Amino acid sequence: MSSTLSLSSNLANNLIDTARYLGDRPAIRLETTTLNYSQLGRAAAAVAGDLQARGIRAGDRVGIVLPNVPAFPILFYGILMAGAVAVPMNPLLKAREVTYYVEDSGMSLVYGSLTAGDVVSEAARAAGIPAFLITELGPTGADLLGFPVEEPVWRGRDDTAVLLYTSGTTGSPKGAELTHDNMSTNASTTVDTLIQTTPDDIILGCLPLFHVFGLTCGLNAAVKSGALLTLIPRFDAETALRVLVRDNVTVLEGVPTMYSALLNSADADSVDLSHLRCCIVGGAPMPVEVLKAFEEKFACEIYEGYGLSETAPIACFNQQGTPRRAGTIGIPVRGCLLRLVDDHGNELLGFDEPGEIQIKGENVMKGYWGRPAATEEAIVDGWFSTGDIATRDREGYYSIVDRKKDIIIRGGYNVYPREVEEVLYEHSAVAEAAVVGIEDGYLGEQIGAAVALKPGAHAEPAEIMDFVRERLADYKYPRRIWFVPSLPKGPTGKILRRSVEPPV
């Protein structure tokens, strides 16, 4: 075996290297607390030693249910250093949702926030695993067993680093297995081509780190380049503008609703953001009007792109150093191929002809955890079928025109109709339900639900709305519910979501 092949591909090596050469540089900031790279590296090594002392071994799954606080990167890199697999989860999830992820992944241990740990504790009890509730600065002192690791556990390129849960329109959420190579190469591509990041950069960490966009383009890219990631636990425009000014942020990453909120904030006219040099956006289509208005007000170009949890995530982007085309998702990134296919899987070679996006390259996931059939259906000959419909122009720029799947993107968060419908069906008065996206000028899409009640049953929309809200994360419950005698169905009796029309 060559020396090259014997080298560990553990993603945590990026932190080790940056801490070695740029240890005094600031790494993570939250308000008045700043950790430099040496401190971040030591804290992660202590977590890794603790995990090993508790019996965690290479390949074991360890959960993180935290907002954007310093504890997240400490735990994330500590888990990787121990050779384990990180399973980040949205802290807005309810106990039944966390329990599903814990049980489906076969998780050995889960971390949660000390200030909001009831959900995590309940899920851990249900699954019979330990839960550790920690402060925003992570476990310290007496909380830690063992000794800090001296170097990360060896991991190969194709070993799983992160398990990110995503869903289709049917069935339960699936864990996308992102390898060390997937995550490392996509972070490098972000640093080299999307942002061209240096240690002098300051990245605003307003994208959630439990989401692949914030994890790769925010945290992993910052660590790879030695930049500072300044965190916001939960986005709001006023806080973001304050941190942008306070820290002289140079790189802004967000979803369209974040840019819209910043643009329309009462403080927008009074701030100086001349230090901003690069803005990138993904997660949902960017309204051209918002893009133009933001660029005019803040004098910083916005680069649009596209990716998915299954592609680590960046696949196609308007990139610095290439012509930018507003309203498009750009061109394939380094190490990634895109093509469009028709309904029969035949590649479309013409221009401006809509087809489904398929992706192949170093960023494509290993597969869906424990679901070989779903993996075989999604990835054929290395090509991952996205379910998104796009066109390609003569210069090779892609534009999203539709989604083949029924996924709803609300403010950058993916909402899967089937998951919401299953909760609606748990209500004793509900006979049928169909969840659909409703166009929204601010969020992009809002959640709507058409509901048919059981014969003789009575319920109010607000009652059903509250029922769902108690059981799902706040961004998932329907804001509009309307009653119908019955739902439209196809010849086999399948409910036709696309024929559901919200009342005017």
Quote the CA–CA distance of 73 and 44 in Å, as a whole number. 8
Indicate the CATH number for domain 11-168.
Answer: 3.40.50.12780
Task: Sheet with 480-483: list strands edge to edge.
Answer: 430-440, 444-453, 480-483
Q: How many helices (H) and strands (E) does the chain have?
A: 15, 26
The helix or strand, by DSSP H or E, that contains position 467, with its residue range, turns out to be helix 461-469
Architecture of the domain spanning 187-403: 3-Layer(aba) Sandwich (3.40)
Q: Is 408-499 the same fold as 11-168?
A: no
Residues β-bridged to residue 438: 446
Quote the CA–CA distance of 40 and 23 in Å, as a whole number. 9
Residues β-bridged to residue 151: none
Tens-digit pLDDT string for the chain (504 aa)? 233 344 789 999 999 999 999 999 999 999 999 999 999 999 999 999 999 999 999 999 999 999 999 999 999 999 999 999 999 999 999 999 999 999 999 999 999 999 888 999 999 999 999 999 999 999 988 889 999 999 999 999 999 999 999 865 456 789 999 999 999 999 999 999 999 999 999 999 999 999 999 999 999 999 999 999 999 999 999 999 999 999 999 999 998 889 988 998 889 999 999 999 999 999 877 878 889 889 999 999 999 999 999 999 999 999 988 899 988 999 999 999 999 999 899 999 999 999 999 999 999 999 999 999 999 999 999 999 999 989 999 999 999 887 767 788 899 888 878 789 889 989 999 988 889 999 998 898 999 999 999 889 999 999 999 999 999 999 999 999 999 998 887 654 567 887 899 998
Comparing CA positions, the residue from 415, 395, 365 lying closest to residue 176 is 365
Superfamily of chain region 408-499: ANL, C-terminal domain (3.30.300.30)
Question: What residues have CB less than 8 Å from 80, skipping those under 6 apart?
Answer: 10, 11, 12, 48, 86, 152, 155, 161, 180
| Residue 21 tokens, joined | 């050469």
Pair 186, 45: CB distance under 8 Å? no
Kindly compute the dihedral angle of the four CA atoms of residues 246, 249, 254, 256, in this order, to the nearest 10 degrees: 80
Quote the CA–CA distance of 467 and 16 in Å, as a whole number. 47
Q: Return the domain boundaries, the chain.
A: 11-168, 187-403, 408-499
Q: Against a cut of 0.85, is the pTM above it? A: yes
Q: Which residue has the tokens 């109709």?
A: 417
